[in-house]
Amino acid sequence: MITWPNFVSQLVNGLAAGTLLALISAGLTIIYGTLGVLNLAHGAMFMLGGYAGFVAFQATGSFALAVLAGSLFMLVAGAVIELVVIRRFYSRPPEDQILVTFGIGIVLVEVVRFIFGSLTATVPPPAWAAGITSLGFMIYPTYRLVVLGIAAVALAVLYVVLYRTRIGLIVRAGIEDSGMVGLLGINVYRVFMLVFGIGAMAAGFAGIINAPVVSLTPNVGDSILVQTFVVVVIGGVGSFPGAILGGIIAGEILSLTSMVNPAYSDVMLFAVMTLVLFLRPQGLLGLAGRA
Amino acid sequence: MRQTPLWLIVALTAAGLVAARFVLPHLGFAPDTVNHILIWGLLGIGFDLLFGYTGLLSFGQAAFYGTGGFVTAYLLTRNIMVSVIGALFVGMLAAAVVGALVGVVALRRTGIYFAMITVAIAEMFFFLENSPLSAYTGGENGLPGVPSPSFELGPLIWHVGTGWSMYWFLAACYFIGIVIALRIVRSPVGAILTAIRDNPERALAVGHGVWRYKLAAFVIAAAYAGIAGGLLGVLQGYMPPEAFTFDTSGQLVMQTVIGGGATLFGPLLGATVWLYLRDFLQQGLGLGTTWKLVLGLVFVLLVCFLRRGLIGGLRDLVAMTRRRKPHEEAAEESAPIVADPPVLASIAHRHRDEPAFSGPVLEARGLTKRYGGLFANRDIDFAVADGELRGIIGPNGAGKSTFFKMLTCEVHPTAGQILFHGRDITGMGVAQVCQLGLTKSYQVNQLFTRQTVWQNVMIAALAERRGPFRLDLLRRIDRVPGLETQVEQTLALVGLSARAQVPVSDLAYGEKRRLEIALALAASPSLLLLDEPLAGMSPRERAETVQLLKNIRRGRTMIVVDHDMDAIFELAERITVLHEGRLLAEGTPAEIQRNSFVQDAYLGGVAAAE
């Protein structure tokens, strides 16, 4: 039975899920845009961030510290992965890059499984965000609203970094023409390392703030990876605004379809992707010339 | 680079499959493990044709594996069909049809997009199977009760049982699968698929319908996946829903990379390593679930350091010990170009059945190309007569490259019209105009770099012999009529006959330039466009190439763009000068030399000021 409050609540659900997806996809898309590498380990990084936050929470008992420590961990982990593995692959064909990030993803998942086992790990929401909030005509879990807010703020921060700082200028120039950026005397590799770290952090950060909503398992990132792909295909690979638009569209499709019949929510998502591919193959906000 | 004869590989495969039955038990392989290896191997043959040979990395093979499996299992468990073989066949067809539909969507993009789309579509199939279609697929429970086949041959009845009995049935299926794949790889289609992997743009430019060949490879891979899925149900007596998961696709990719791509046998070897290590690590070493971590690390290391997998690594090792001698030959000087080689008469362009037309071979009217506010070319009228050799010159940035690309339909004009033999070719594809007899050689070499000189020219000649698309999957490539002669004559013409079996990577620069021209020539064009054929050449190579151009111009029309004024004024009958995107002058070399506009354009008005 579809009622008005039910509909609004699903709409907000979709927005929350969509903002989270947008954040993860933004990480994927800036990595691809700058480094030219499609990161198939992105889902695993979402998962790893969640576990990093889980460990930090166990140690400190503070949710805020868990988010902070987990994010920093992912920044460092991403930079290390770039330095040790990804760097060898810039001059190799895209298929090789896909294969190696796929392998990295499996290794990350299995390392976590080795350490934490296959059982679920849970992080409770912070005390001030537990419980429910009354929105007048309906009640809604407070923490979901918080997720929406935090993810939106994180996207805004990412936007400021990309569009208002020197490093962001280099990254965006790199998206246009990475060869030229190298010629300008900028150490491209250091930028690449940082970008891969930031991209990993975006996924990991999303993983932590999502941990109180969906309990952690080593495979929690698998379906996220696929949804992220759909988001960037819809929005346009390498486009930051495209990731946001695609994320929100995907979140709403998943949420609104599940109101009618949950079994079809993912199917509907892929159907929309196919439609976009036929009508606008480069994605809604993608540029025709690229990829 | 001599190929092992097909019969030998087939015989060795058959012997190997028979021997495996008696050797593997002693190495600790359970029959069930071996049977699963065969199914992974069969699934992998199709994937290797798609990824290893055609270069299309799909993470969605599970969709077709599952489709074939569930269609077969459904038909058998609901007693719609009695014959197991028949049901397997229908399952394979269903997978191929689904493959064609998915391919039409996924092949709209290439590279990383293609990989992402296959992932997403395969996931969609998993969700469809899991709930909306669960009435047919059993949802999370799968379909139990899939029967095994029986064969009746007169009084003999063989009912396939479990264990090693099943092995013989699966081994027979694998054998048929590998023989067909070996034939495909050695057919003209196989050669074209590897060409698409190595250089899709050039494969298109020599006239192959690249997109349709990719779709064909996709459908073939889906068919192999379909039959493998059906056999999985038969082997287990039960069709598991896990067949549809992303893990299945991922494991297939990893096994193929471990074994070695573009080998056909790589996936089988990879599956053997995978399943053996899994059992060994899990039970032998008591590592439990950690086995996958070990395999993941092995995979990452292989991708980093041994990308061609185990078989590829072995091949490289053998080649290293053997190859010393042919390498020394590489230093030898290339054969010189002789004037008027005897093959000239026969290599002249093929007369295509086109209506008699007496006007210019190529005509451009008002050709304009605009990029935003910038005009690269503006309102150019241009005509070349039959048999003419036309030179195009102009200072840097004059718009020569854009103009050339519009003539070959690589770039479509913003306005204007292009007529070839009086036929409007504006807006046509590169492959289509090449099939009509208009092609070009590139300024920067566009070769099939992983193949030999002979194979390069053959790929181009195949397009001319077979048209843009033909599915002669089982025809031997040396049975294509006239192919060998055409390749030989083309090589003789450019003086590369002695180097026919040399890999492109071992050629000297001047030789690569000649091969570049040979690729265009092998398409038997009636109009040949040459984009800076003399770029970067030494004086000797330059003199040879000028002689080559004089040789090949007989019987065809040519347009040459180059910065080498001496060569253009020596070769061309008429010269067109472009300047700032417009036509500046046109005339005989003598007229152009005297033309004051041309002098101004080149000397930037300095001469006038003095």
Domain ranges of chain B: 16-320, 378-609
Q: Which positions in chain A touch B113 (Cβ < 8 Å)?
A: 233, 237, 291
- What amino acid occupies position A169? L
| CA–CA distance, B300 with B164 (Å, rounded to integer) | 34
Q: Is A84 on the interface with B (CB under 8 A)?
A: no
The predicted pLDDT at position B327 comes to: 47
Partner residue opposite A233 with nearest CB, options B59, B117, B132:
B117
Nearest-CA distance A224 → chain B (Å):
11
Q: Which positions in chain A touch B132 (Cβ < 8 Å)?
A: 263-264, 267
Given an 8 Å threshold on Cβ–Cβ distance, is B112 in contact with A229? no
Both tokens assigned to A107? 């290794």
Both tokens assigned to A162? 């990309």
Average pLDDT over residues A149-172: 89
Both tokens assigned to B397? 């940035």
Instruction: Tell which A residues from 206 to 265 touch B, by Cβ distance under 8 Å.
Output: 222-223, 225-226, 229-230, 232-233, 237, 263-264
In CATH, what number does B378-609 get? 3.40.50.300
Q: Which residue of A has its CA nearest to B307?
A: A96
The predicted pLDDT at position B609 comes to: 44
DSSP-assigned states of every residue in A157-188 = HHHHHHHHSHHHHHHHHHHH-HHHHHHTT--H
Given an 8 Å threshold on Cβ–Cβ distance, is A274 in contact with B57? no
Contact by Cβ (8 Å): B464, B350: yes
Given an 8 Å threshold on Cβ–Cβ distance, is A107 in contact with B297? yes
Nearest-CA distance B55 → chain A (Å):
8
In sequence order, the β-bridge partners of residue B370 are B375
Q: Which positions in chain B touch A96 (Cβ < 8 Å)?
A: 303, 307
Q: Is A273 on the interface with B (CB under 8 A)?
A: yes
CB pairs under 8 A between A and B: 110
Q: Which positions in chain A touch B292 (Cβ < 8 Å)?
A: 106, 110, 113
Q: Chain B residues within 8 A (CB-CB) of chain A?
A: 51, 55, 57, 59, 105, 108-109, 111-113, 115-117, 119-121, 123-124, 127-128, 130-132, 246, 250, 253-254, 257, 289-290, 292-293, 296-297, 299-300, 303-304, 307
Partner residue opposite B109 with nearest CB, options A102, A271, A281:
A281
**Strand B582-587 relative to strand B574-579, pairing:** antiparallel
| CA–CA distance, B72 with B237 (Å, rounded to integer) | 12
- What amino acid occupies position A156? A
Spell A123-134 as b/e; 16+ CB within 10 A means b: bebbeebeeeee
Place A162 in a pLDDT band, splitting at 50, 70 and 90: confident
Residue among B401, B399, B408, B392 nearest B375 (CA): B399
The residue among B519 and A33 whose pLDDT is bigger is: B519
Nearest-CA distance B545 → chain A (Å):
33
**Strand B438-441 relative to strand B423-424, pairing:** unpaired
Nearest-CA distance B487 → chain A (Å):
30
Q: Which residue of B has its CA nearest to A90?
A: B304
Nearest-CA distance B105 → chain A (Å):
7
DSSP-assigned states of every residue in B248-296 = HHHHHHHHHHHH-SSSSSHHHHHHHHHHHHHHIIIIIS--GGGHHHHHH
Burial class (CB in 10 A: 0-12, 13-18, 19+), A33: buried
Nearest-CA distance A107 → chain B (Å):
5
DSSP-assigned states of every residue in B367-414 = EEEEETTEEEEEEEEEEE-TT-EEEEE--TTSSHHHHHHHHTTSS--S
Q: Which residue of A has its CA nearest to B306?
A: A96
Given an 8 Å threshold on Cβ–Cβ distance, is B120 in contact with A273? yes
Q: Is A279 on the interface with B (CB under 8 A)?
A: no
Contact by Cβ (8 Å): A113, A51: no
Both tokens assigned to B446? 């566009």
Spell A102-122 as b/e; 16+ CB within 10 A means b: bbbbbbbbbbbbeebeeeebe
Given an 8 Å threshold on Cβ–Cβ distance, is B55 in contact with A96? no
Given an 8 Å threshold on Cβ–Cβ distance, is A277 in contact with B108? yes
**Strand B150-153 relative to strand B156-159, pairing:** antiparallel
Instruction: Tell which A residues from 85 to 114 touch B, by Cβ distance under 8 Å.
Output: 85, 88, 92, 94-96, 98-100, 102-104, 106-107, 110-111, 113-114
ipTM of the complex: 0.93
Nearest-CA distance B312 → chain A (Å):
15
Contact by Cβ (8 Å): A20, A33: no
Summarised one tens digit per residue, pLDDT across range A39-52 is 999 999 999 999 99
SS3 state at A40: coil
Given an 8 Å threshold on Cβ–Cβ distance, is A270 in contact with B303? no
Query: Which residue pairs, CB below 8 angstroms and at least 24 apart, start in B129-133?
Result: B129/B66, B129/B70, B129/B241, B129/B244, B130/A263, B130/B241, B130/B244, B131/A263, B132/A263, B132/A264, B132/A267
**What are the extents of the domains in chain A?**
13-221
B16-320 architecture in CATH?
A: Orthogonal Bundle (1.10)
Question: Mean pLDDT, consecutive 10-residue segments, chain B of 610 residues?
Answer: 84 97 94 97 98 96 97 96 96 98 92 90 90 90 94 89 95 98 97 96 96 98 98 97 94 96 96 93 84 94 94 91 57 58 52 68 94 91 94 90 93 95 93 94 93 96 94 92 93 93 92 94 93 89 90 90 90 93 93 88 58
Given an 8 Å threshold on Cβ–Cβ distance, is A95 in contact with B131? no
| CA–CA distance, B168 with A249 (Å, rounded to integer) | 52
Given an 8 Å threshold on Cβ–Cβ distance, is A267 in contact with B120? no
Q: Which residue of A has its CA nearest to B308?
A: A96
Mutate to test the interface with A, among B245, B287, B303, B412 (most CBs of A within 10 A): B303
SS3 state at B527: strand
Q: Which residue of A has its CA nearest to B256?
A: A99
Given an 8 Å threshold on Cβ–Cβ distance, is B132 in contact with A263? yes
Given an 8 Å threshold on Cβ–Cβ distance, is B116 in contact with A233? yes
Q: Is the pLDDT of residue A1 over 90?
A: no
Nearest-CA distance A287 → chain B (Å):
13
Q: Which positions in chain A touch B59 (Cβ < 8 Å)?
A: 102
| CA–CA distance, A208 with A53 (Å, rounded to integer) | 6
